Amino acid sequence: MGKKSIFSDIISSALGKKGVNYATVVGDVMIGSYEIENLKNIMDDITSATTLTSISEYREQKATMPTITHMMTMVRADLLNKDMAITIKEKRKIYPIALSEVEKYFYSYGKDLTPLRYNFFQTSSTGSTPFMNFKGVWSTSEAREATKAWAFSMQGAPSTQTIAFPNHRYGGFDVLCADATGMLYLISEKGSIYWKKKLPTAVSSPFVVADLYNNKKYQMAFYAGNTFYVIDRNGNAVTDKEKIVAAKKLSTTTPKAKISSTNEVQVQKNGSAITVKTPQSPVSTAVYSPSFDVLLYSVKNGKIYACDTKGTAVGGFPLPAAQYYTAENFAKNGKMGVVTTSTSGSVTMYRLPKTK
């Protein structure tokens, strides 16, 4: 790099404190990392649905480069930011003034850089003289793909729709599901089973979430055959007759999304009906998530997509086909979690980049 400069500092920082132990080339992009798992993650980013050619900043920069581009070097911005933050913290403890120009910039504007994803460097040549050019291209327009957090297999096919069940302990949500063998399950948002309960008959109605004691400790009410059940979140039956009578009077929530045409869904939002035109069609099923103001819908091939109420596609989709799906702020971290249930009884949690 020759004389030390802000550019050489950026390149050095991009390599990380541990340097590069592993490197590979995917297409016209060189990627490097000191850990093989990080390298695999970066490769997955390139080869998955969100490819480099789908990143508008990458296309624009490559199209406007005046010289022959031999290589675009990509650095994962989120990994770089993490390493940089650790380095800055360590340096400031010893000697704050020793921060480099890049580190000073990160220290001042680090919060703005947190959601950024990629940084690109260009290796080019003019005639026979090679040189390296820092493009400084940060891509924020392309959202991350969904991350599969966990999966659980019920003993049979689902007998009713899986729902998000409120957890009063931390204010988030657990997963309540049931299968055709009569098993009832309550699963944490992290995928651990709180309990499973065997019923004589499979659940035959939608679940109704109730707060019968008005203390924000919720119960679940449902029919299994001709028998009506009210169970608390610990799996114990509610025996108070007045509470059972009150639960029977409750009804399932009216669907907030109704398909009106092959690519139009009527959504109930803030008491009014609005029409949402979906980017994909024909729509087979649809679910509206008020928590994120997002419409989730499946199409003929079964894949699950999402868009906002203006019809703009939400990043991270599609998700694999499923019989049931629901979206909620499960972990109470402002990020969308989507739970899907397949026809065979596989319950899967996906974490998505969409935030409240």
Q: For residue 327, give the 3-state DSSP assignment.
A: strand
- Clarify whether residues 99 and 35 are in a common domain: yes
- Rounded to whole angstroms, how far apart are CA atoms 229 and 246? 12
pTM summary value: 0.62
The answer as to whether 218 is a domain residue is no
Check whether 327 has a pLDDT greater than 80.
yes
| pLDDT tens figures, 292-313 | 999 999 998 889 999 999 998 8
Q: Please report which confidence band the pLDDT of residue 34 belongs to, taking 50, 70 and 90 as the band edges.
A: low
Q: What is the pLDDT of the chain when averaged over all its residues?
A: 76
- Clarify whether residues 163 and 16 are in a common domain: no
- Rounded to whole angstroms, how far apart are CA atoms 260 and 262? 7
Other CB atoms within a 10 A radius of the CB of residue 344 amount to: 12
Q: Could you list the residue range(s) of the whole structural domain that residue 343 is in?
A: 147-198+253-355
- Clarify whether residues 72 and 171 are in a common domain: no
Question: Region 199-212: what's the mean pLDDT?
Answer: 95
Question: Which comes out higher in pLDDT, residue 315 or 99?
Answer: 315
| pLDDT tens figures, 133-172 | 333 333 444 445 788 899 999 999 999 999 999 999 888 9
User: Strand 294-299 and strand 304-308: pairing?
Assistant: antiparallel
- Clarify whether residues 175 and 122 are in a common domain: no
Check whether 81 has a pLDDT greater than 90.
no
Question: Region 329-353: what's the mean pLDDT?
Answer: 93
The answer as to whether 114 is a domain residue is yes
Q: Please report which confidence band the pLDDT of residue 14 belongs to, taking 50, 70 and 90 as the band edges.
A: very low
Who's near 278: CB < 8 A, 6+ residues apart? 263, 264, 265, 295, 297, 305, 307, 311
- Clarify whether residues 34 and 79 are in a common domain: yes
Question: Region 330-339: what's the mean pLDDT?
Answer: 91
Question: What is the structure's pLDDT at 263?
Answer: 93
106-143: buried (b, 16+ CB within 10 Å) or exposed (e) per residue? bbeeeeebeeebbbbbbbbeeeeeeeeebbebbbeebb
Q: For residue 73, give the 3-state DSSP assignment.
A: strand
> Of 114, 138, 162, at which residue does a domain stop?
138
The number of distinct structural domains making up the chain is 2
- Rounded to whole angstroms, how far apart are CA atoms 190 and 186? 12
The answer as to whether 349 is a domain residue is yes
Check whether 18 has a pLDDT greater than 50.
yes
- Clarify whether residues 41 and 154 are in a common domain: no
Question: Region 305-322: what's the mean pLDDT?
Answer: 90
The answer as to whether 246 is a domain residue is no
Question: What is the structure's pLDDT at 313?
Answer: 87
Q: For residue 109, give the 3-state DSSP assignment.
A: helix
CA atoms within 13 A on the CB side of 218: 19
* Least-confidence region, from 110-124, 260-274, 293-307, 340-354: 110-124
Q: CA 316 from chain center: how many Å?
A: 6
The answer as to whether 60 is a domain residue is yes
Check whether 77 has a pLDDT greater than 90.
no
Q: Which two tokens stand for residue 174?
A: 């657990």
The answer as to whether 235 is a domain residue is no
- Clarify whether residues 32 and 175 are in a common domain: no
- Clarify whether residues 157 and 270 are in a common domain: yes
Question: What is the structure's pLDDT at 103?
Answer: 62
- Clarify whether residues 88 and 14 are in a common domain: yes
> Of 89, 119, 138, at which residue does a domain stop?
138
- Clarify whether residues 172 and 261 are in a common domain: yes
- Clarify whether residues 75 and 19 are in a common domain: yes
The answer as to whether 335 is a domain residue is yes
| pLDDT tens figures, 234-252 | 999 999 999 999 999 987 7
Question: What is the structure's pLDDT at 141?
Answer: 41
Q: Which stretches of 114-215 are DSSP H helices?
A: none
Check whether 85 has a pLDDT greater than 50.
yes
* Start-to-end C-alpha separation, the chain: 44
- Rounded to whole angstroms, how far apart are CA atoms 41 and 51? 13
- Clarify whether residues 96 and 130 are in a common domain: yes
The answer as to whether 233 is a domain residue is no
Question: What is the structure's pLDDT at 44?
Answer: 59
Question: Region 104-131: what's the mean pLDDT?
Answer: 50
